[in-house]
Amino acid sequence: EVNLVESGGGLVQPGGSLTLSCAASGFALEISAYVMTWVRQAPGKGLEWVSVLDSYGNAYYTNSVEGRFTISRDNSKSTLYLHLNSLKHEDTAMYYCANLRRPFSGSWWWSPSAEIQFRGQGTQVTVSS
């Protein structure tokens, strides 16, 4: 059984930083073999793409987080990370890690809900002064 457990969320002031972690277990292969993603959902809104890391190590970011967020992984710990810098009020959301059903090459028009195979329970990020 695949299990994804996010952690690291919290309350942070605008301009601050956080690092989110996602511990993965139950996959047949190392997490580097999968296309992994961070998505988020703000109150009253739908699921939104944030970043994708494919099996070749290519990282993709939406325009809203490009230059501020960094996605990475540690195969030895079977953990996916999202480093959040220069946080803004509009980054407030529940953040989820997930793996995708198929290869990704910047296809932000895809529906995240339709592309996700397994998803964790999420970790809350609140940006407020």
Structure confidence by residue, pLDDT tens digits, 35-83: 999 999 999 999 999 999 999 999 999 999 999 999 999 999 999 999 9
Q: How far is CA 74 from CA 14, 77, 115, in A?
A: 28, 5, 23
Helices (H) and strands (E) in the chain, counts: 1, 11
pLDDT attached to residue 13: 98
pLDDT attached to residue 82: 98
Q: CA-CA distance, 4 to 12, in Å (whole number)?
A: 24
pLDDT attached to residue 44: 93
